[in-house]
Amino acid sequence: MVRFLLRKIALLLPTLVGITICAFAFVRLLPGDPILAMAGEHGVSPERYAELREHFGYNLPIWQQYVNYVGDALHGNFGVSISSKRPVAEDFATLFPATMELTVFAMLFAAIVGVPAGMIAAIRRGSWADQSLMGTALVGYSMPIFWWGLLLIIFFSGYLGWTPVSGRIGLQYFFPRVTGFMTIDSLISGQKGAFGSAVSHLILPTIVLGTIPLAVIARQTRSAMLEVLGEDYVRTARAKGLSPLRVVGVHALRNAMIPVITTIGLQIGTLLAGAILTETIFSWPGIGKWMVDSIFKRDYVVVQSGLLIIALIVMAVNLLVDVLYALINPRIRQAG
Amino acid sequence: MRKTMFAAALLAATMLAGTASAKTLVYCSEASPANFDPGTTTGGNDFDASSRTVYSRLVEFKHGSTELEPGLAEKWEISEDGKTYTFHLRKGVKFQTTDYFTPTRDLNADDVVFSFERQFDKNNVWNGDKYLPNLTWDYYTGMDMPKYVAKWEKVDDLTVKMTLTEPNAPMLANLGMDFASILSKEYADQLEKEGKMADLSTKPVGTGPFQFVDYQLDAVIRYKANPDYFRGKEKIDDLVFAITPDATARIQKVIAGECDIAAYPNPADIAMLKTNPDINLLEQAGLNIGYMSYNTTIPPLDKAEVRHALNQAIDRDALIKAVYQDAGATPANNLIPPTMWSWNKDVQFDKYDPEAAKKVLEAAGLKEIELWASDASRPYNPSFQRSAELIQADWAKVGVTAKIVNYEWTKYRSEGKKKDRPGAFQIGWTGDNGDPDNFFATLFSCSAIGVSNYSSWCDKDFEDLIQKAKTISDQAERTKLYEEAQVVFAKEAPAFLQAHSQVYNVVRKNVSGYLMDPLGIHRFDGTDKAE
């Protein structure tokens, strides 16, 4: 097991180097210049421009800038934002729980709705229920997030007034931050109605962010289910006279869930990408919105370090999934 | 232990009681502030959240206008030679008492000297990395303060003297700008001693109408009325900024009553907002100008008649309608907008006359021209690209083929300001301090060539007028000079003047006393709300 783990980690190293190069190059390949972006319409004189470039170290050879960036990151120093002047790691730590909370809710929503929908579609294969569920899933999968979010806001918040438009909690609730998860902090605060407010603020963003994963999960569940339902052991179970509920719910579902769980794990990346748009629409103070703002400001430091931290998290999650698989299934451990 | 628990319970009780009876005004702001030190930031949203709420200045812009009035300085004298300004501070002005700072003295000259010195004196501990990394003091340098201000001196506790290197009439207006906010030296000293210098930018203390309570990063900023405000406590008790970057969400929040005031609606929502019974849509011609600079040094654009002809070839009314749509805009006759003093009402812009234009352009042999457009959307021009396409079509009708040159916004400006950049370059400006000099000298003075004079235009008559206007402090005299400068500008036509865009604020009907500000800032002093 230790060897397996070491091998996995060794494999991650080239990926990590690749990520640092991508993160570093990406923001520099964007047209635009952080100093000019900062100066606005005023512009800066050529002398001042040269002075500032030197100050920020952008006059150094590109390889040296890269070496400095990686060197600092290895020491756990992710730099200081050009625009806000706050340490990147600090802002990340403040904002990440918001993204995490939204992602978890979106994932739960996608799984809780997606798995039964896929099951129903599989059992009633070819029926109108199957057709309409899979049709809806296709629409959901192709939904442009920005448009979808605004549509829901205008209808449910603006027209019907059922849900709040944006934000994480009603402005009348004001309590100290403990975990950074609004649903938990609102309970800790003990303020009446705070938890309900936090949940109501989660509804629309959760739906919007969860829509695409939901569609993917529903389709994956359906096809996995169909495959399993054709297996001999399911026929045997049926032949033994077990109730249809037991056949589908226990015998088929358990086996069908293996590829579905893999799919759910893979959706983490999709969710983080979707969070960028969702957070912007719903004024959700998470890392997605933060990255977008920083790209527009050409805040090199935040973009390159933020990308690196996000990549590290995704890699850690993937490693964890690999290890869990290996624990469950020894064959993977040997094959590596 | 019991004591802390009691204190916590008391705090919770007051907070609850506070929420029940307090009058809270919610402003949906468009972006998160970089920080709360207005000397170090440049964005309008940064200033709304810091200088216009927490701080005050020696002189202030009158609410809803660009005229100056006494602020922390109750009066001032300007010496004969225009180089020495003596400010007499208001007595008994208190800095805000917060849970992180309790002032032991009133505002005095030390605070004023400190607030400016930190921005230029390299020996000041607050000037550099010890305070915040990568400080650039952009506005202070951007307004040429290092060039004009020789020194700040304390005369006595309530008197401060500013000495200039040369007379500069717009200086007084500069002192009403955000970067000129007055900070507490006592608080700065305390932070320095405690080794928490960075807190000056995150936990502000000023003398303004509201005091800082809390900031949840990228989400909510909370203030409460400053009970010791020298103009008297505000009518609203709590002021909340709900940071809402998406324009549609912002407007929906006002409609749903989640916020009381919002800025920058989408042009597409204007018509809907005008008919909404719960909403007052405030509008005003912005203190801005969208224009297109011709490079006046490259033939045949070096001839004024060619530039006039290009202007005449553009159907400006149709252009404005197509580009600004429902939001609307005022066609520009002068570089400065009509709301600004010294605007010359007699000056007319070139009339649309493609026939006449065609003759001149043919004679000049102008067949091809570069027409610059960025992908950006700016307050004074929502789409350079669309403007460019319409102008291109108009010019095609008079036999001139325009090639549209497109760059990303920052690259666009750095390429566009080069002295030898060919053709016509679309750009614009939003005023900083309501002084005409801030338009004329910033955009078309000889020394701005290569920085923000995109026409590379250096006209002796114009230059003499605006430089002279800069050195005299009498406003009536300055007005005459600027009026004349506008006549020269119209005659020489270094640019195609497009429009002053309309600016909107969306306000719920139960809000009173809120005024739109010509400088584009959002301030809430004097605002009240009926429950």
B298 domain residue, yes or no: yes
Tokens coding B134 = 């990568």
- Do A44 and B222 count as a contact with CB atoms less than 8 A apart? no
**CA–CA min distance A264, chain B (Å):** 29
Interface check A32 vs B, CB under 8 A: yes
pLDDT at B484 (0 to 100): 97
pLDDT of residue B182 exceeding 70, the answer is yes
CB distance B252–A52 less than 8 Å?
A: no
Cα torsion through B165, B169, B172, B175, rounded to 10: -60
Domain total of chain B: 2
Kind of pairing, strands B424-430 and B368-374? parallel
Name the least confident of A46-50, A152-156, B497-501.
A46-50
- Please tell me whether residues B235 and B376 are part of one structural domain: no
In this complex, the residue of A45, A46, A281 whose CB is nearest that of residue B246 is: A281
Q: What is the DSSP letter of B514?
A: -
Using the structure block, give the residue that is written with the tokens 């403007």: B387
Same structural domain, B474 and B515: no
Cα nearest neighbour of B442 on chain A: A42
Contacts of A133 (CB under 8 A, 6+ apart): A117, A118, A120, A121, A218, A222
Which is higher by pLDDT, B305 or B64? B305
Q: Which CATH number belongs to the domain containing residue B387 in this structure?
A: 3.10.105.10
Mean pLDDT on B201-220: 96
Statement: residue A55 has pLDDT above 70 = yes
Which of A78, A174, A191 is most worth mutating to test chain B (most B CB atoms within 10 A of its CB)?
A: A174
Residues B185, B92, single domain; the answer is: yes
Q: Which residues does B4 contact at the CB level (< 8 Å), separation at least 6?
A: none
Tell me the per-residue pLDDT of B139-159, one tens digit each, with 9 for 90 and over: 888 788 999 999 999 999 999
Mean pLDDT of all residues in B22-29: 94
Q: What's chain A's Rg over C-alpha atoms?
A: 24
Q: Which of A171, A175, A181 to mutate to test the interface with B (most CBs of B within 10 A)?
A: A171
Which of B177, B223, B248 is best to mutate for the A interface (most A CBs within 10 A)? B248
The whole-angstrom separation of Cα B467 and Cα B436 is 12
pLDDT averaged over every residue in chain B: 92
CA distance to partner chain A, nearest, from residue B490 (Å): 23
Which residue of A lies nearest to B256 if distances are taken between CA atoms?
A158
Same domain, B214 and B295: no
| Interval B47-56 mean pLDDT | 96
Distance (Å) from the alpha carbon of A33 to chain B's nearest alpha carbon: 6
B48 and B135 assigned to the same domain: yes
The rounded distance, in Å, linking the Cα atoms of B355 and B236 is 60
Q: State the DSSP code for A172.
A: T
Q: What is the pLDDT of residue A329?
A: 66
Q: Taking CB atoms and an 8 Å limit, are B32 and A293 in contact across chains? A: yes
Q: Summarize the confidence of residues B4-24 as an average pLDDT.
A: 52
Q: Which residues of B touch A154 (CB under 8 A)?
A: 248, 252
Does the bond joining B300 to the residue before it have cis omega, within 30 degrees of 0? yes
Q: Is A164 on the interface with B (CB under 8 A)?
A: yes
- Which residue from B399, B328, B390 is spatially nearest to B359, judged by alpha carbons? B399
**Across the interface, do A283 and B132 touch by the CB < 8 Å criterion?**
no
d(CA B469, CA B496): 24
Residues A196, A201, A202: CA angle, nearest 5 degrees: 100
How far is the C-alpha of B529 from the C-alpha of B531, rounded, in Å?
A: 6
Q: Is B236 left (phi over 0), alpha (psi -120 to 50) or beta?
A: beta
CA nearest neighbour of B391 among B419, B425, B414: B425
Kindly state whether residue B280 falls inside one of the protein's structural domains: no
pLDDT value of residue A42? 63
Distance CA A238, CA A250 (A): 12
Residues B352 and B383 in one domain: yes
The count of other CB atoms within 10 Å of the CB of residue B355 is: 9
- Residue A202: its pLDDT value, please? 96
Angle at A275 between CA A274 and CA A280, to 5 degrees: 110
A85 vs B222: CB contact, 8 Å cut-off? no
Q: Nearest 10 degrees: CA dihedral of A295, A296, A299, A303?
A: -10
Question: Would you say residue B19 has pLDDT above 60?
Answer: no
Largest distance between two CA atoms of chain A: 87
Whether B39 contacts B140, CB under 8 Å: yes
Tokens of B415: 């390429």
Predicted pLDDT of residue A263: 79
Q: Is residue B517 part of a domain?
A: yes
Cross-chain Cβ contact B252/A41 below 8 Å: no
- One-letter amino acid at A229 equals L
Q: For residue A317, what are its two tokens?
A: 């999650």
Contact A290 B218 (CB under 8 A): yes
Residue B143: CATH number of its domain = 3.90.76.10
pLDDT tens digits, A305-329: 888 888 888 888 778 877 777 776 6
Distance between CA A143 and CA B169 in Å, rounded?
A: 57
Alpha-carbon span A75 to A185, nearest angstrom: 32
> Cβ contacts of residue A188 below 8 Å, gap of 6+?
A175, A178, A179
* B357-380 pLDDT per residue, tens: 999 999 999 999 999 998 877 889
Select the residue of B240, B252, B430 nearest A165 (Cβ to Cβ).
B252
Chain A CB contacts of B428 under 8 Å are 41
Closest CB to A32 among B32, B220, B408: B408
Chain A residues inside the 8 Å CB shell of B430: 41
Instruction: Give the residue from B414, B429, B449 with the most A CB atoms within 10 Å of its CB, the best one to mutate.
Output: B414
| CB distance B293 to B454 below 8 Å | yes
Could you report the per-residue pLDDT of A196-246, keeping only the tens digit for each? 999 999 999 999 999 999 999 999 999 999 998 888 888 888 888 888 888
Average pLDDT of span A58-71: 87
Q: Given CA atoms A249, A251, A253, A257 in this order, what sign does their dihedral have?
A: positive
Q: How far apart are CA A106 and CA A203, in angstroms?
A: 9
B268 occurs within a structural domain: no
Q: ipTM of this model? A: 0.81
Neighbouring C-beta atoms of residue B443, cutoff 10 Å: 24
Burial class (CB in 10 A: 0-12, 13-18, 19+), B178: buried
pLDDT at position B18: 43
Q: Are residues B105 and B208 in the same domain?
A: yes
Q: Is A80 on the interface with B (CB under 8 A)?
A: yes
pTM: 0.85
Question: Nearest 5 degrees, angle CA A214-CA A215-CA A219?
Answer: 115
**Are B338 and B211 within one domain?**
no
Indicate whether B15 pLDDT > 60.
no
pLDDT at B69: 95
Q: Which residues are CB-contacts of A78 (< 8 A; sequence separation ≥ 6)?
A: A72, A87, A88, A89, A92, A301, A305, A308, A309
- pLDDT-derived band at A77 (thresholds 50, 70, 90) equals confident
What are the chain A neighbours of B411 within 8 Å (beta carbons)? Answer: 31-33, 36
Amino acid at B479: T
Burial class (CB in 10 A: 0-12, 13-18, 19+), A62: exposed
With CB atoms and an 8 Å threshold, state whether A172 touches B42.
no
Alpha helices in B453-514 (DSSP H): 460-471, 475-492
List Cβ neighbours of A290 (8 Å cut-off, separation of 6 or more). A91, A92, A95, A302, A306, B218
- CB contact set of A252 (below 8 Å; sequence gap of 6+): A225, A228, A229, A231, A234
Instruction: Measure in Å the smallest separation between the Cα of B158 and chain A Cα atoms.
Output: 34
Quote helix, strand, coil % in chain A, to nearest 5: 80, 0, 20
Are the Cβ atoms of B410 and A166 closer than 8 angstroms? no
Among candidates A32, A80, A157 on the partner chain, residue whose Cβ is nearest the Cβ of B134: A80
With bands split at pLDDT 50, 70 and 90, how would you rate the model's confidence at A255? Answer: confident
The shortest C-alpha distance from B270 to chain A (Å) reads: 15
- Structural tokens at position B291: 């224009």
Helices (H), B404-455: 409-416, 437-444
d(C-alpha B95, C-alpha A185), whole Å: 33
- pLDDT at residue B20 in the model: 46
- B142, A289: Cβ pair inside 8 Å? no
Residues in chain A: 336
Token pair 């800025």 is found at B263
Residue A331's pLDDT band (cuts 50, 70, 90)? low
In tens, the pLDDT along B218-266 reads 999 999 999 999 999 999 999 999 999 888 899 999 999 999 999 889 8
Share of chain B above pLDDT 90, in %: 76
- The reported pLDDT for the residue numbered B2 is 42
The residue of A27, A41, A80 whose CB has the most chain B CBs within 10 angstroms, and thus the best one to mutate to test that interface, is: A41
CA-wise closest residue to B132 among A143, A83, A289, A176: A83
A 10 A CB-CB count for B99 gives: 8
Per domain, the residue ranges of chain A are 88-335
- Assess whether pLDDT exceeds 60 at residue B13: no
Name every chain A residue with its beta carbon within 8 A of the beta carbon of B23.
none
What part of A 98-127 touches B (C-beta under 8 Å)? 98
Count CB pairs under 8 A between chains A and B. 145
Looking up tokens 């010496």 gives B79
Residues B167 and B248 in one domain: yes
Phi, psi of B261 (to 5 degrees): -140, 140
Per-residue three-class SS string for B290-348: EEEEECCCCCCCCCHHHHHHHHHCCCHHHHHHHHHHHHCEEECCCCCCCCCCCCCCCCC
Rg of chain B (C-alpha set): 25
Contacts of B45 in chain A (CB under 8 A): none
Give me the architecture of the A88-335 domain, per CATH. Answer: Orthogonal Bundle (1.10)
Q: Identify the pLDDT of residue A286.
A: 93
B451 and A82 within 8 Å at the Cβ level: the answer is: no
- Percent of chain A at pLDDT above 70? 95
Contacts of B73 (CB under 8 A, 6+ apart): B58, B59, B87, B88, B89, B90, B160
Mutate to test the interface with B, among A166, A197, A298 (most CBs of B within 10 A): A166
Please tell me whether residue A75 adopts helix, strand or coil conformation. coil
Question: Inter-chain contact A43–B220, Cβ cutoff 8 Å?
Answer: no
Place of tokens 């350079």: B384
Type of residue numbered A218: A
Q: Which tens digits make up the pLDDT trace of B421-451?
A: 999 999 999 888 889 999 999 999 998 888 8
The beta-carbon neighbor of A172 closest among B19, B133, B429 is: B19
Distance CA A118, CA A253 (A): 11
Residue of B218, B412, B432 to mutate, testing the A interface (most A Cβ within 10 Å of its Cβ): B218
Chain B residues inside the 8 Å CB shell of A51: none
**A157 touches B at CB < 8 Å:** yes
Nearest CB among B35, B410, B413 relative to A85 is that of B35
Residue B16 confidence (pLDDT) above 70: no
Q: Do B132 and A174 touch (CB under 8 A)?
A: no
Q: Report the relative pairing of strands B261-263 and B24-29 from DSSP bridges.
A: parallel
Q: Are B346 and B258 in contact (CB under 8 A)?
A: no
Nearest-neighbour CA in chain B from A30: distance (Å): 9
Pair B523, B486 in one domain: no
Q: Are residues B324 and B193 in the same domain?
A: no
Q: What pLDDT digit, counting tens, does each position of A101-147 carry? A: 999 999 999 999 999 999 999 989 989 999 999 999 999 888 888 89
Contact state of A171 with B240 under an 8 Å Cβ cutoff: yes
Question: The domain containing residue B256 runs over which residues?
Answer: 2-260+510-529
Q: Are B400 and B366 in contact (CB under 8 A)?
A: yes
The single residue listed with the structure tokens 């570093």 is A24
Burial (CB count <10 Å: 0-12, 13-18, 19+), residue A243: exposed
- Residue B444 in any domain: the answer is yes
Q: Is the pLDDT of residue B410 over 80?
A: no
| pLDDT over 50 at B129, yes or no | yes
Please check whether residue A42 is in contact with residue B142, taking contact to mean a CB–CB distance below 8 angstroms.
yes
State which amino acid sits at residue B417.
Answer: K
Which of A 222-251 lie inside 8 A of B, CB atoms?
Answer: none
Distance between B40 CA and the closest CA of chain A, angstroms: 9
